[in-house]
Amino acid sequence: MAVAATDVTSESLTAQFRPRLFTVDDIEGMVRSGILHHGERVELIEGQIVEMHAMGTRHIWAVNRLCRIFNRRDDVQVSPQNTLELHDHSGPEPDIVVLPVSVSEAHRPTAGDTLLVVEVADTSLVYDRQTKGPLYARAGVPEYWLVDLNDERIEQYREPSAAGYRAMHLFLRGETLSPVFAPDLTVQVDDVLGPPATPATD
């Protein structure tokens, strides 16, 4: 007697097998136990461990320039490329997180602690705009800057909501912008981007 083949659909598999979502504490435990190495460039996004893009030379220097700009103020502190705990299952490592100088050191920085998050992007531009930007908005990060090294501009996002940021402004070379937390701080786009990229020659 012939036995009918079982029709296994993706929906039925999903019902039977749910992916294991990691937490920020899980990642910290993996580092302590040596499963993940100190300095390994990964971050936790919605329960998934994601390998981060390698940083090019322009990326490194843009992050350094941003640190200098914000470190001029006495009322804030800069946390570069460290874990920002948005919730149990998301702990990205933004290029820059600006925090009040008074923030408690008894816990990892959280979305509620942040004044501003900045990502510097060249190869990671689409990911930073379409995945991490909405993630920061849903967590309530009040302001997000995306430094686009390819098109040499800064995208400033404000007014977070569950659907993403409701306001976006674009700033090009020769223009200035200020963060919400410090409207008196004038940031030159050129001071973030650095010297214009030199065109390749034959």
Give residue-wise pLDDT tens across range 120-132.
998 889 989 999 9
- Is residue 130 one of the residues assigned to a domain? yes
**Is 67 within the bounds of a domain?**
yes
Q: What's the pLDDT band for 3 if we cut at 50, 70, 90?
A: very low
For residue 88, pLDDT over 90 is answered with: no
> For 149-164, how does the pLDDT look when each residue is reduced to its tens digit (9 = 90+)?
999 999 999 999 999 9
Encode pLDDT of 172-190 as tens digits.
Answer: 999 999 999 999 999 999 9
Does the structure show a pLDDT above 90 at 146?
A: yes
Q: How many domains in the chain?
A: 1
Between 45 and 107, the more confident residue is: 107
Dihedral sign for Cα atoms in the order 19, 95, 53, 152? positive
Q: How far apart are CA 153 and CA 131, in angstroms?
A: 19
Assigned token pair, 33:
């136990």
Asked if residue 186 belongs to a domain, the reply is: yes
Share of the chain above pLDDT 90, in %: 60
Instruction: Supply φ then ψ for residue 119, to 5 degrees.
Output: -115, 135
CATH code of the domain containing 169: 3.90.1570.10
Tell whether 100 is covered by a domain: yes
Q: Does residue 200 form part of some domain?
A: no
pLDDT tens profile 7-37: 555 555 555 667 777 676 666 766 677 766 6
User: Residue 27: what pLDDT?
Assistant: 64
Range of the domain at 149: 53-193
6 within some domain = no
pLDDT of residue 22: 67
Give a yes or no: residue 179 inside a domain: yes
Whether 152 maps to a domain, the answer reads yes
Check: CB of residue 95 under 8 Å from CB of residue 43: no
Structure confidence at residue 105 (pLDDT): 92
Between residues 97 and 92, the one the model is more confident about:
97
Helix (H) / strand (E) element for 114: namely: none
